[in-house]
Amino acid sequence: MKVRARDPKEAWREDFESSQARDDGIETSTISGIPLQPLYTSADLPGRPEELPGQFPYTRGIHPSGYRGRLWTMRQFSGFATAEETNRRYKYLLANGQTGLSVAFDMPTLMGQDSDAPTSRGEIGHCGVAIDSLADMETLFEGIPLADITTSMTINSPAAILLCMYIAVAEEQGVPASRLGGTLQNDILKEFIAQKEFIFPPGPSMRLVVDSIEYCAKEVPQWNTISISGYHIREAGSTAAQELAFTLADGMAYVDACIERGMRIDDFAPRLSFFFDAHIDFFEEIAKFRAARRIWARWMRERYGAQDERSLKLRFHTQTAGVSLTAQQPELNIARTAIEALAAVLGGTQSLHTNAMDEVLALPTDKSARIALRTQQLLAYESGVANTIDPLGGSYFIESLTDEMERQAEIYFKRIEDLGGVIPAIEASFFQKEIADSAFRYQQELEQKRRIMIGVNDFTVDEEAPIEILRIDPRLEAEQVARVRDVRRKRDQARCTNALSSLKKAAAGSDNLMPYILEAVRAYATEGEIMNTLIEVFGIYTEQAVV
Amino acid sequence: MSPTTVRPVRIIVAKVGLDGHDRGVKVVARALRDAGYEVIYTGLRQTPEMVVDAALQEDAQVIGLSIHSGAHMTLFPAVVQELKRRKATDIVVFGGGIIPDDDIAALKKQGVEKLFTPGTPLQEIVDWLRQRFPKESA
């Protein structure tokens, strides 16, 4: 019998289509809804010149040496109760091989109010550490040499105040600001878009961000002045493509604002940094990270004319996805986090936070925090994944998905531009609505079992064994309230009052506010007092509630 | 109330506390609305007094509270207390968020009728409301 030679790809297609197909009703698109082919081949590879790590457009990584040169920083986000307790946890994490600090503040601190404000009741020390004044910051970093460590601070509306507190603690340790390394989240746009911890209206909020970027360019040159964040956008329910697009659009809005201030692109762009989510859909996440680097490099060079190579390189921190964790069978969260962390590493992250299994229930215990850190160490030292740079580069599937991410982001950039830019789009609730729609669609897919969450809508167990969780001692609330009142009693009141009134005058003008805030901090003005002074000038923002 | 004048159950959904995590509250609000309930979402950072004010003004039968900051043990009971103070204890209070099991038991004792934790199917919330308000079927 004579067999006619079939085209191998067509032959595969015929064989595939005549094969049995699974009929469990589970979506085969990515978790964000991007349809996937069952197979990718050389026909899906784009006809572009070969990309290499450390070379424009940096799709394969910003360093020519990848993790061969230096591993990612293992930076566990941590903070709870009082500065004293959190200081103890930091020392524990450092003793266990963590390589950078990352401060989680409690809700009153994040919202710029003191522990003795009426609406702080019940919130103190619960989702982070309570910081009211320089005195608490001194306790937080007691015995931790700030010259030898980098610190990330997740704070937004009051970001400038907390950075000034950090600078002031360093001064007391004899460390000049010019030697400080770390990151300030300082990303107010994503607060309006997703996390909603805004205080001032967008205009003055952006002024404070630009003030801090401008100040750091001169005085704290090794500091990452902003961490432009997709994490919260994603956690609020966006798709991967929305996270990518909205975050980079925010980044460009900050660049525009700095240029408008009169700064030169290469004077500030190298210190801009990014922060992404690593969700459970493994390949989609890797493609997202790769696309982010390519888009940013191109925009910075082509649109803003950046010359310094460092301005083109998108550096980012990653956190595994809090929303992917389940309260049901929580031990499974260790496995989820490992998969997500692997995606971040294969996507070339500069630093990483791995969630602890119990974070869906409460703040992590010592034990669960250590398992989370050990998961990163396992990836770095045991699995071998860090030995080859961008090991998935050239994969038909990954390259094709990277292009698709880029394409979807470009569509969003166009839509945002048509709305007049990021701030008008915020005011029109554009992002908020897009995110709410995606969140609702995902929830429906779960209800219809088109997406599976193990332990939640499938593979459930009837009886859950309780796991031990961290409890915040309710007594600490009264202690923290007493502490802030004590600070107010003991400080040089005249110096403090003067500092606050100078700040108020400056806020009404156009000076950079950083030196004024720094002086107020040094005079032990509390965070709430500084914020309230600024609120008197700037006012507060209320959003239109959209469902 | 005679059968002809039965009106759909009106629900105030509110974010109490300082956190701005509104994904859950929005998804639930939309699902309840799709199930036929009249849903009023208050927006963020509502104090217990503001929530009860809204419920009285809107003549709501139910208050749904959402929180993710860990302050539920303070703020949920504060809403119930405020209802008592305003003599409006006929309004049913339920809640959702990151709430450990032990706290759920304590909150129920303090008058929060029902608590839903992460991973709860939306249908379960709707079913509970249908059971709780069988006459005013939505």
Judge if A390 and A514 occupy the same domain: no
| A248-292 pLDDT, tens digit each | 999 999 999 999 999 999 999 999 999 999 999 999 999 999 999
Residue A526: pLDDT above 50? yes
Give residues with Cβ within 8 angstroms of B126, minimum separation 6.
Answer: B31, B32, B35
Identity at A140, one-letter amino acid code: L
The confidence score (pLDDT) of residue A76 equals 84
Task: Over range A197-219, report the average pLDDT.
Answer: 97
Residue A545: pLDDT above 50? yes
Nearest CA distance, A108 vs chain B (angstrom): 7
A152 three-class SS: strand
Task: Over range B117-137, report the average pLDDT.
Answer: 90
The confidence score (pLDDT) of residue A384 equals 97
B29, B41 Cβ separation under 8 angstroms: yes
Q: Do A127 and B100 touch (CB under 8 A)?
A: no
Identity at A48, one-letter amino acid code: R
The confidence score (pLDDT) of residue B4 equals 54
Domain boundaries, chain B: 7-131
Residue of A nearest to B43 (CA): A545
Nearest CA distance, A84 vs chain B (angstrom): 20
Residue of B73, B119, B122 with shortest CB distance to A456: B119
Residues from chain A that touch B29, judged by Cβ atoms under 8 A, are 547
Asked if residue A30 belongs to a domain, the reply is no
Per-residue DSSP letter, A382: T
| A107-117 pLDDT, tens digit each | 999 999 999 99
By CB neighbour count within 10 A (0-12 exposed, 13-18 middle, 19+ buried), where does A50 fall? exposed
| CATH number where A117 lies | 3.20.20.240
Task: Over range A530-544, report the average pLDDT.
Answer: 95
Judge if A314 and A185 occupy the same domain: yes
CA angle at residue A428 from A109 to A211, to 5 degrees? 45
Judge if A71 and A148 occupy the same domain: yes
Nearest CA distance, B118 vs chain A (angstrom): 7
CB distance from A314 to chain B under 8 Å?
A: no
Mutate which: B19, B101, B102, B104, vs A, most A CBs within 10 A? B19
Q: Do A360 and B98 touch (CB under 8 A)?
A: yes
Taking any CB pair shorter than 8 Å as contact, residues of chain B touching chain A are 17-23, 26-27, 29-31, 33, 39, 41-45, 47, 69-75, 98, 100-101, 117-119, 121-123
Judge if A525 and A429 occupy the same domain: no
Q: 3-state SS string over chain B?
A: CCHHHCCCCEEEEEEECCCCCCHHHHHHHHHHHHCCCEEEECCCCECHHHHHHHHHHCCCCEEEEEECCCCHHHHHHHHHHHHHHCCCCCCEEEEEECCCHHHHHHHHHCCCCEEECCCCCHHHHHHHHHHHCCCCCC
Judge if A230 and A275 occupy the same domain: yes
Q: Do A447 and B33 touch (CB under 8 A)?
A: no
What are A25's two structure tokens? 């009703």
Per-residue DSSP letter, A223: E
Q: How confident is the model at residue B137 (pLDDT cuts 50, 70, 90)?
A: low
Angle, helices A514-522/A527-538, rounded to nearest 10 degrees: 150
Q: How confident is the model at residue A470 (pLDDT cuts 50, 70, 90)?
A: confident
Judge if A441 and A482 occupy the same domain: no
Alpha-helix residue ranges (DSSP H) falling in A356-429: 366-381, 396-418, 422-427
- Expressed in angstroms, the distance from the first to the final Cα of chain B is 15
Q: How confident is the model at residue A80 (pLDDT cuts 50, 70, 90)?
A: confident
Q: How far apart are CA A524 and CA A522, in angstroms?
A: 5
Residue A108's nearest CA partner among B45, B76, B61, B108 is B45
Nearest CA distance, B102 vs chain A (angstrom): 10
Q: How far apart are CA A294 and CA A44, in angstroms?
A: 19
Nearest CA distance, A161 vs chain B (angstrom): 19
Q: Do A360 and B44 touch (CB under 8 A)?
A: no
Q: How far apart are CA A349 and CA A326, in angstroms?
A: 25
Ramachandran angles phi, psi of A545, nearest 5°: -75, 115
Residue of A nearest to B68 (CA): A127
Nearest CA distance, A124 vs chain B (angstrom): 8
B14, B42 Cβ separation under 8 angstroms: yes
| A139-171 pLDDT, tens digit each | 999 999 999 999 999 999 999 999 999 999 999
Residue A63's nearest CA partner among A74, A75, A51, A55 is A55
Q: How far apart are CA A159 and CA A197, in angstroms?
A: 12
Identity at A12, one-letter amino acid code: W
A413, A62 Cβ separation under 8 angstroms: no
Residue of B22, B72, B123 with shortest CB distance to A196: B22
- Tell me how many domains chain A contains: 2
Asked if residue A235 belongs to a domain, the reply is yes
The confidence score (pLDDT) of residue A36 equals 97
The confidence score (pLDDT) of residue B1 equals 45
Nearest CA distance, A357 vs chain B (angstrom): 14
| A431-458 pLDDT, tens digit each | 999 999 999 999 999 999 999 999 999 9
Residue A92's nearest CA partner among A379, A340, A364, A382 is A364
Mean model confidence pLDDT for chain A: 95
The confidence score (pLDDT) of residue B2 equals 47
| B2-50 pLDDT, tens digit each | 455 667 899 999 999 999 999 999 999 999 999 999 999 999 999 999 9
- Could you tell me the residue range of the domain that residue A512 belongs to? 475-538
Number of inter-chain CB pairs under 8 A, A vs B: 105
Asked if residue A27 belongs to a domain, the reply is no
Q: How far apart are CA A205 and CA A194, in angstroms?
A: 16
CATH of span B7-131:
3.40.50.280
Residue A99: pLDDT above 80? no
Nearest CA distance, B21 vs chain A (angstrom): 6
Q: How far apart are CA A311 and CA A306, in angstroms?
A: 6
CB distance from A547 to chain B under 8 Å?
A: yes
Residues from chain A that touch B69, judged by Cβ atoms under 8 A, are 107, 123, 126-127
Q: How far apart are CA A525 and CA A42, in angstroms?
A: 63
Q: Do A122 and B75 touch (CB under 8 A)?
A: yes
Asked if residue A372 belongs to a domain, the reply is yes
The confidence score (pLDDT) of residue A2 equals 62
Nearest CA distance, A122 vs chain B (angstrom): 5
Residue of B19, B43, B121 with shortest CB distance to A545: B43
Residue of A111, A326, A466 with shortest CB distance to B18: A111
Residue of A nearest to B45 (CA): A119
CA dihedral A309, A310, A314, A318 (to 10 degrees): 150
Q: How far apart are CA A193 and CA B34, in angstroms?
A: 25
The pairing of strands A150-154 and A77-78 is unpaired
Q: How far apart are CA A547 and CA B27, in angstroms?
A: 8
Angle, helices A430-447/B122-132, rounded to nearest 10 degrees: 80
Q: Do A119 and B47 touch (CB under 8 A)?
A: yes
Q: Do A123 and B69 touch (CB under 8 A)?
A: yes
Q: How far apart are CA A160 and CA A170, in angstroms?
A: 15
Judge if A426 and A507 occupy the same domain: no
Residue of B18, B23, B41 with shortest CB distance to A123: B18
Residue of B39, B100, B121 with shortest CB distance to A469: B100
CA-atom Rg of chain B in angstroms: 14
Task: Over range A32-40, report the average pLDDT.
Answer: 96
Q: How confident is the model at residue B100 (pLDDT cuts 50, 70, 90)?
A: confident
CB distance from A469 to chain B under 8 Å?
A: yes
Q: Do A545 and B41 touch (CB under 8 A)?
A: yes
Is the pTM higher than 0.90? The answer reads yes
Residue of A nearest to B22 (CA): A236
Q: Do A127 and B20 touch (CB under 8 A)?
A: no
Q: Which residues pair with A233 in a beta bridge?
A: none
| A347-396 pLDDT, tens digit each | 999 999 999 999 888 888 889 999 999 999 999 999 999 999 999 999 99
